[in-house]
Amino acid sequence: MKLSEFISKNLIFLNVQADSQKNVFKIIGNIFSKKNKALSSLIIDKLNERERLGSTSVGNGVAIPHTKVNGINKTQVIFLKLKNGVDFSASDGVKIDLVFSIIAPENSESDHLLILSSISNFIRKKQKIERLRGSTTIDEILFLFSKI
């Protein structure tokens, strides 16, 4: 499954200013606030709750914060390319500058796992990560996401 199949252009954000992990989660929550303020707060709380269980950093400056919430009908994936690295307590000590966030419906069974697997396959290729970091437009990123 290609990342472009579940990450839409309007959920890709570049040069995002964040100085902490909590601010990254607020940004993700705020993306939903246009539709539903209560949902925004719930997402922020659930992301923080999930992070307390263990870092969602997967190494090499990439994190995949994810959670399930009531109030959405389908899984949403948000991509943030941060302007500066943020501490996510990564086991490799590298600050996070690439964030793939998965927000799934509470009753989601396997959809989010398939998406998580696709993201993992993509980021496993160091060359793709470097190209992602070098991309300066949303269209460039979408093109990368359209490749296996």
Digit-coded pLDDT (tens) for 12-63: 999 999 999 999 999 999 987 776 777 889 999 999 999 999 999 999 999 9
Pairing of strands 57-59, 66-69: unpaired
Q: pTM of whole model > 0.75? A: yes
Domains of the chain, each with CATH number or no CATH? 3-145 (3.40.930.10)
Whether the CB-CB separation of 65 and 89 falls below 8 Å is answered with no
pLDDT the model gives residue 12: 97
Measured distance CA(40)–CA(35) in Å, rounded: 9
- The DSSP element (H or E) to which 28 belongs, if any, is helix 21-33
Digit-coded pLDDT (tens) for 68-124: 999 888 899 999 999 999 999 999 999 999 999 999 999 887 888 899 999 999 999
